[in-house]
Structure 1
Amino acid sequence: MIAYRLIQAQEPPRIQDVPKPSPGPGQLLIKVGGCGLCHTDLMLMKRTTAEWSNMPPPLTLGHEIAGWVSQIGQGVVGFRSGEPVAVVPLWGSCGHCAPCRRGEENFCYHNSRLIGAGVGFDGGLAEYILAEARFVVPMGDFDPVLAAPLTDAGLTTYTAIKPALSTLIPGSTAVVIGVGGLGLLGVQFLRTLCSARVIAVDNDKTHLELAKAHGADNTLSSDTSTAEQIQDITSGVGANFVLDCVGAESTLKTGVAALARLGRLTLVGAALKTIPFGLHEIPWGAQLATSMNGGTANLREVIELARLGRIETIVDRYPLTHVEDAYRDLVDGKLRGRAVCIPETAEQMS
């Protein structure tokens, strides 16, 4: 089979012919229907050998994966050959602690490293992938191409939003900063799951137009006056919930300045900047939280929302053999939604 592989640290990945894997006990072999691309992939390509630690390349990239069960390993129950499935990206969980037992494997007490598909293990930019069955979620008749971005972009935003939903009552306000691939799904989750006013913030007019079309009540350009505009819209109260899908110093400052007392700001963007935290640096009673991807329980809910048509996945489709074009468009900001690479064998099936 063909696979897009990072052979050595900081070298350009390339497509290779590799053996088709076979499932061992507890595993599923999945025919990839679609694999989404992510800025995390670009960060992995820049990692030094030291940053890879004890799980270095070579490996196949890609962690947003959905497809069809091809072969079932010994001891696996609850799956049938040919059924559509989605794969949780994070695989380092123990499976035994309280969060793991709840289906919140992303918060495993014993997993201190980000490892999973395309990060320590072969990922989904290939015709087939092996995954432990416990990280795989059945999804009925849902299209794997549309499901692939939901395993990261969708799951990440949903997991970040869910704890705030009880506070997002009529009269409240939720703000999404950065409404690209992640944030646009965040806007849709908020519109579907709560009664709050939803404000979308971005510096790209196309992104703001899409956010408006998908449920945002207000759209604002991202600049030094954004927080003041949010305060004006909310009659000086501020936002009860802010989802920062960027994580730059400027967006974090905007989020805190726009936040209401007792509000919650959750960071999922990976720009890796920080802001001061102290008694007088954030509104009284406010919470600052981080969130990372999600677990199998939330992925089931995300897929079900998509199956019901409550959220729409906007994808830019590329053949797997054109994966480098897809990454180039991701870097250049040319994508309308999320880039999804489709193996030629999957195109023939769909």
Structure 2
Amino acid sequence: MKAFQFVEWQRPGQLREVPVPEPGPGEVLIKVGGAGACHSDLHLLEAPAGSSSVTLPFTLGHENAGWVEQMGSGATGFAPGDPVIVYGPWGCGLCMNCRQGMENYCQTAGKPSPGGLGGTNGGMAEYLLVPATRYLIPLGRLDPREAAPLTDAGLTSYHAVKRSLHLLGPGSTAVVIGAGGLGQMAIQVLKALSGATTVVALDTSPDKLTIAKQMGADEALASGDDGITRIKDITGGQGAEVVLDFVGIDPTLATAARVSRVLGHITIVGLGNAALPVNFHSPATECSVASPFWGSIPELIDVIALAQRGKIKMLVEHFTLDQAAHAYDLLHHGGIQGRAVITPHG
């Protein structure tokens, strides 16, 4: 089968021929409908040799959805042809966090090991081997080609919002910094879970700000001093209860600190590798700062339920497997408005 693989450090991925995997006991073979291309992949592809423990080559793609192709011996709960989405961060399944569905926070050394991100082969191929049925969630009528990014872009945004949901009510304000794929999803999740919250989107791209308004943002502002002033006006000078930074570079983190509120939350989701200075004077007094990772299996079930009810929808651009390298090039240069999805079966 064809697979788009990470072959050489600091080099673009390559389309290669690899064997179709055979499902062993408890495993499931998935016919891939859609595999999302993520900025996390770019960080991995562009990293220097030795900066990660992954063994090359391996197949990229950690946002995966498709149809059950074959069940390994002892695997139950699904049948060939069932449309499913694949939970990404694979843990040990036995520690306390895993037993609560939080395999993203597995306590076993070397885990989680996400397919397509942690060294295990991912779904940017015609078929994907999934180690256990607990990682599969039924899609119902959702199209795997459209739903694939929900397993990361959707889940990560949902988890980031949900941790702060108790702060959001009538009169509250949430600021979403970065209106790309994850930011667009966060806007929709905020509206779905706390419709009384004023949602403000910040970005440097006019096109993305237009999309942010279409996704439900009450205000879509250009990043910079004027945007910060407007947020202060909206909040009566108090700042926002919740600030979600989906970029993570020095200017966006500085903005997050400036618009934070006493007893508020700043959540850093973006992988920009900058640092947020925290001291007595900034961010606002007793403002909590966290950098969450992905989300839990129960939260992905929630995300799929929201999508099935039409409350959230990812803006996607489809590419064939042969176009995967082009999709990553567009992603690298900011040419993807929502999420690029590779569709190995058309």
Shift in Å at residue 339 of structure 1? 0.5
1:145 aligns with 2:145: yes
What amino acid sits opposite 1:138 in the alignment? P
CA contact (8 A) 1:139 1:300 kept: no
What amino acid sits opposite 1:118 in the alignment? G
What is the aligned partner in structure 2 of residue 130 from structure 1? 129
What is the aligned partner in structure 1 of residue 329 from structure 2? 328
Output one character per residue of 1:271-294: Cα deviation in whole Å (capped at 9) or x when no partner.
Answer: 011121123222122100111111
Q: Find 2:101's aligned residue among 100, 103, 114.
A: 103
Shift in Å at residue 325 of structure 1? 1.5
Q: How many angstroms apart in 2 are the aligned matches of 1:75 and 1:243?
A: 42
Output one character per residue of 1:293-347: Cα deviation in whole Å (capped at 9) or x when no partner.
Answer: 112111111111111100111100111111112112112222221100111xx22
Shift in Å at residue 198 of structure 1? 0.4
Relative to the length of structure 1, the TM-score reads 0.94
Shift in Å at residue 164 of structure 1? 0.9
- Of stretches 38-47 and 251-260 in structure 1, the one that deviates more from structure 2 is 38-47
1:24 aligns with 2:24: yes
What is the aligned partner in structure 2 of residue 219 from structure 1? 220
DSSP-derived class of the 1:15 partner: strand
Shift in Å at residue 112 of structure 1? 5.3
What is the aligned partner in structure 1 of residue 317 from structure 2? 316
Alignment of 1:65-76 (within 5 A): 65-76=64-75
What amino acid sits opposite 2:16 in the alignment? Q
What is the aligned partner in structure 2 of residue 260 from structure 1? 261
Q: How many angstroms apart in 1 are the aligned matches of 2:251 and 2:214?
A: 26
Q: How many angstroms apart in 2 are the aligned matches of 1:61 and 1:246?
A: 22
Q: How many angstroms apart in 1 are the aligned matches of 2:47 and 2:333?
A: 21
Q: How many angstroms apart in 1 are the aligned matches of 2:10 and 2:287?
A: 41
CA contact (8 A) 2:161 2:190 kept: yes
What is the aligned partner in structure 1 of residue 92 from structure 2? 94
Shift in Å at residue 44 of structure 1? 1.4
What is the aligned partner in structure 1 of residue 41 from structure 2? 41
Q: How many angstroms apart in 2 are the aligned matches of 1:109 and 1:277?
A: 27
Q: How many angstroms apart in 1 are the aligned matches of 2:335 and 2:47?
A: 24
DSSP-derived class of the 1:50 partner: coil
Q: How many angstroms apart in 1 are the aligned matches of 2:5 and 2:50?
A: 19
Shift in Å at residue 62 of structure 1? 1.1
DSSP-derived class of the 2:231 partner: helix
Alignment of 1:1-350 (within 5 A): 1-53=1-53, 55-91=54-90, 93-111=91-109, 115-119=113-117, 120-133=119-132, 134-194=134-194, 195-343=196-344, 346-347=345-346
Q: How many angstroms apart in 2 are the aligned matches of 1:11 and 1:207?
A: 28
What amino acid sits opposite 1:129 in the alignment? L
Q: Which runs of 5+ in 1 are unaligned?
A: none
Q: How many angstroms apart in 1 are the aligned matches of 2:276 and 2:232?
A: 20
Shift in Å at residue 22 of structure 1? 0.9
Shift in Å at residue 217 of structure 1? 0.6
Shift in Å at residue 59 of structure 1? 0.6
Count the aligned residue pairs.
Answer: 343
What amino acid sits opposite 2:107 in the alignment? Y
Q: How many angstroms apart in 2 are the aligned matches of 1:327 and 1:137?
A: 27
Q: How many angstroms apart in 2 are the aligned matches of 1:24 and 1:114?
A: 20
Q: How many angstroms apart in 2 are the aligned matches of 1:227 and 1:114?
A: 38
- RMSD between superposed Cα atoms in Å: 1.4
CA contact (8 A) 2:105 2:112 kept: no
- Of stretches 62-71 and 111-120 in structure 1, the one that deviates more from structure 2 is 111-120
What amino acid sits opposite 1:102 in the alignment? Q
- Of stretches 302-311 and 324-333 in structure 1, the one that deviates more from structure 2 is 324-333
What amino acid sits opposite 1:86 in the alignment? I
Moved over 6 A (4+): none
DSSP-derived class of the 2:5 partner: strand
Output one character per residue of 1:250-289: Cα deviation in whole Å (capped at 9) or x when no partner.
Answer: 1111111101111001110000111211232221221001
Output one character per residue of 1:2-38: Cα deviation in whole Å (capped at 9) or x when no partner.
Answer: 1111223334321111111110112110000001101
Q: How many angstroms apart in 2 are the aligned matches of 1:8 and 1:25?
A: 32
CA contact (8 A) 2:174 2:243 kept: yes
DSSP-derived class of the 2:232 partner: helix
Q: How many angstroms apart in 1 are the aligned matches of 2:43 and 2:266?
A: 25
DSSP-derived class of the 1:116 partner: coil
What amino acid sits opposite 2:153 in the alignment? A
What amino acid sits opposite 1:57 in the alignment? L
